[in-house]
Structure 1
């Protein structure tokens, strides 16, 4: 193997702590070249939605700052990952390329092809577990099959060897030994070249070209609809850990009892942090359990929250074993389900939160303003679309993909199929969330509703676009047509 520089390829892991690929590059002892590739052209890669692009822009800017503090720079490139990695290896004479694993089929095929090509050239290529606590291929049923039901899956997780402790962030003293340059970075000027930070300057061109972050057009401009996102969020690794500390101090104690109450601020707000890897599931696991805790999750808020982390693990387990989950019904009988063709005006009422169904409208407006929606309300809003309006779950999934800052190919699809009844471990087809009853139970004083629907209870608020009872009956009749399949 060559002793040239180490190329660290950042993807959904925009952090410096508990980053196995970066950690391995530091241990290897050669110069480190850090890169993020905006890949919207490789086959099978789904471009990010608008809200996720907003988050990515700011998270990359934060990552560049974290790396700069370590004496490293972040190079930005766009294009098909296979081509860009090959170009960078040629430009830098890289001796090794390290990355953390992805689990979608298209991503795995890209990574496998790159790894094979690099090894054929004598370049070390290694990938690492960093985004899930349990690798999907390590957990099987007693029959040697992938899990399709969450409860036994999570039981298997809790019975498996405990997740490894998080890796420490590199220190400036360690990385400084690898660098002689300024470590300066520029993500908001013209496409530029940066000073080499190599301990062996001859190994890498003195000026390594990088895209400027602004040139990627990730931020909305005409119009700028992101004011609510800026008010609600500060992306980045430091902010992720600050949010976790706030949750542990002020939300975890009431998490079990209050997490279904959307007006109560007890949710962790970790979902976009996990989506972009600003924090790792290993950091969550050990941060909530303590470094010396037994592998069995402790009772109380920690257990309830880590079970939600387990639901995310389950989504990636399904994505790995059943990659078609993102676009196809997991239960083939649903291929014959009589979905209604959505009229643009009808769909727009749901998207804009103007259905006349208060809890649904509040959730959809929260989504548009903040880029997230309370989990209980997500289920209600999704159920209203697929069951009360009989609109295909993929239509709703596409809207969430564009508007959620935590849009995740595994969780987004799995959760929509769960609500629709078309997925594994799905909600029973006869379960149709009644938004009025859900509001009475979980938002009895209408605090959440009036936060996002201030005209609720006034003559300005419209009547429901459909009768909840009649539309529920239509849904049950439609589901009955495929019951025997």
Structure 2
């Protein structure tokens, strides 16, 4: 007779330490088999087979496997449709319970509902836990028990609600001897799942205290290393958000605010799922008539708009998979307000290129720039790229790094004149909003 086991399903939580679902799995009373599924429903939609994110996940799984091997265990890595993979797992093992962590995206919720029904029908418990945020669902609500749609009162309530319970780490290491003792199987190679190795480097998974202490003074300067660069690790859960908040409380309140923004956008995604379907949070903004000039969009994508701060940002993104947050706001505003191109085009491009792509934050950021989101910048506030450059890159250190041909005939003239673009977009927004 087969040994009864629990399974822990890794997704956006690729670490052994301080992992909520893994903690409960290890305390379940059954030996725990860790698994990961390279989900074809997700991978098949990725056009770029040199996707650095898939490469990063693959390397992280290899590292997890080494850590587990030291305990006499291993991670089982599958490639396929999750429903079909789980059907085969239920046939291969005597599964008592399955544990995983919550995911708040539309596809993930549908997938987990389907898997839960499959497992429950076979008498297998399916338990999911909060892990990637501090507060979720209805844990931070207004006095009238409604979700917040403005950040400042949300952040105030978030801070009021916070106590040690919410940021206490899960001591998974106490129970590591409860991993199932198995010999490691070979993890499918990148080539076997249809991808190739990339040479885009991933920032270190290390909180640099001095950098964080000065975060509020340095975070807006793109030419220096003034931000933590930990967003990719938060995205894939290679670092615990609870540990980051523990550090932020003591090191820098502005940095803590950025972590609260992350919870805020997850909260919006949960309470207002229509944003997953490409709708504007403020529905009246769907009436805007976009120009959607494909040639101009291509110039924006390639960093050839003739606006140096915009072009530097796009080239940084295309080369490294990262873009400085201040420059993200400038490039997004430029696409929407200067070129009058639908924010969804930019959202999709960032989704394809950003190492730290996270649907909730990406959608929230783009709708903020488009003035169509919750707590967004007013539509008549339009970033002037020249003024932004003077303020945040006055010596052109960042620009020169990414645009070596600056001030030569090889660099293009501006794609549109700022004042003209400003008047054009104000007219388009005003016409759309007058229809409501």
Q: Distance in 1 between matches of 2:40 and 2:422?
A: 40
Query: What is the match of residue 213 of structure 2?
Result: 253
- Call closer, same or farther: CA 1:46–1:422 in 2, change over 3 Å: farther
Task: Please give the per-residue CA displacement for 1:165-203, whole angstroms capped at 9, x wherever unaligned.
Answer: 1123426xx54565554x43422xxxxxxxxxxxxxxxx
Aligned residue in 2 for 1:19: 19
Q: How does 1:424-443 map to 2 (within 5 A)?
A: 424-443=374-393
Cα offset for 1:453? Answer: 0.9
Partner of 2:160: 159
The question of whether the paired residues in 2 share the 8 Å contact of 1:165 and 1:282 is answered with yes
Aligned equivalent of 1:206: none
8 Å Cα contact 1:72/1:175 also seen in 2: no
Q: 1:263 aligns with which of 217, 223, 236?
A: 223
The secondary structure found in structure 1 opposite 2:128 is: strand
The answer on 1:471 being equivalent to 2:431 is: no
1:281 aligns with 2:258: no
Given that 2:312 and 2:403 are in contact with CA atoms closer than 8 Å, whether structure 1 keeps it comes out as: yes
Q: What is the Cα deviation at residue 330 of structure 1? A: 1.1
- Residue 153 of structure 1 deviates from its aligned partner by 0.9
Deviates more, 1:112-121 or 1:45-54: 45-54
Instruction: Report if the CA contact (8 A) 1:29-1:178 is conserved.
Output: no
Cα distance change, pair 166–446 in 1 and its aligned pair in 2 (3 A): same
Q: In structure 1, how many angstroms separate the alpha carbons of the residues matched to 2:23 and 2:225?
A: 35
2:195 maps to 1:218 = yes
For residues 376 and 47 of structure 2, the distance between their equivalents in structure 1, rounded to whole angstroms, comes to 26
In the alignment, which residue of structure 2 is the partner of 1:201? none
Alignment of 1:421-460 (within 5 A): 421-460=371-410
- TM-score, length of structure 2 as denominator length: 0.92
CA distance in structure 2 between the aligned counterparts of 1:352 and 1:94, rounded to whole angstroms: 50
Q: 1:338 aligns with which of 271, 289, 296?
A: 289
Which residue is equivalent to 1:5?
A: 5
- Structure 2 distance, partners of 1:40, 1:425, is 35
Is 1:414 equivalent to 2:380 in the alignment?
A: no
Query: Which whole-Å CA distance do the structure 2 matches of 1:70 and 1:466 have between them?
Result: 61
Instruction: Write the mapping of 1:7-406 to structure 2, written as runs, cut at 5 A.
Output: 7-41=7-41, 50-162=51-163, 163-170=166-173, 174-176=175-177, 178-181=179-182, 183-187=183-187, 211-219=188-196, 226-227=198-199, 229-230=200-201, 233=202, 239-240=204-205, 243-244=206-207, 247-248=208-209, 250-289=210-249, 302-326=252-276, 327-343=278-294, 345-406=295-356
Is the contact between residue 51 and residue 404 of structure 1 (CA under 8 Å) also seen in structure 2? no
Q: Which runs of 5+ in 1 are unaligned?
A: 188-210, 221-225, 290-297
Superposition TM-score, scaled by structure 1 size: 0.83
User: CA deviation digits over 1:6-59, x for unaligned, max 9?
Assistant: 1110111111111122222222242221111122338xx965973432332333
Q: Deviations over 1:293-323 (max 9, x none)?
A: xxxxx5xx52100100111111100111112
- Residue segments in structure 2 that go unaligned for 5+ positions in a row: none
Name the CA shift for 1:10/1:433 in 2 (closer, same or farther; >3 Å). same
Distance 1:476 1:133, change over 3 A: same
CA RMSD of aligned residues (A): 2.2
CA contact (8 A) 1:5 1:94 kept: yes
Distance 1:251 1:40 in 2: 39
Aligned residues: 429
- From the superposition, tell whether residues 74 and 374 of structure 1 become closer, same or farther in structure 2 (CA, over 3 Å): same
Q: Deviations over 1:340-369 (max 9, x none)?
A: 1322x2222111111110000110011011
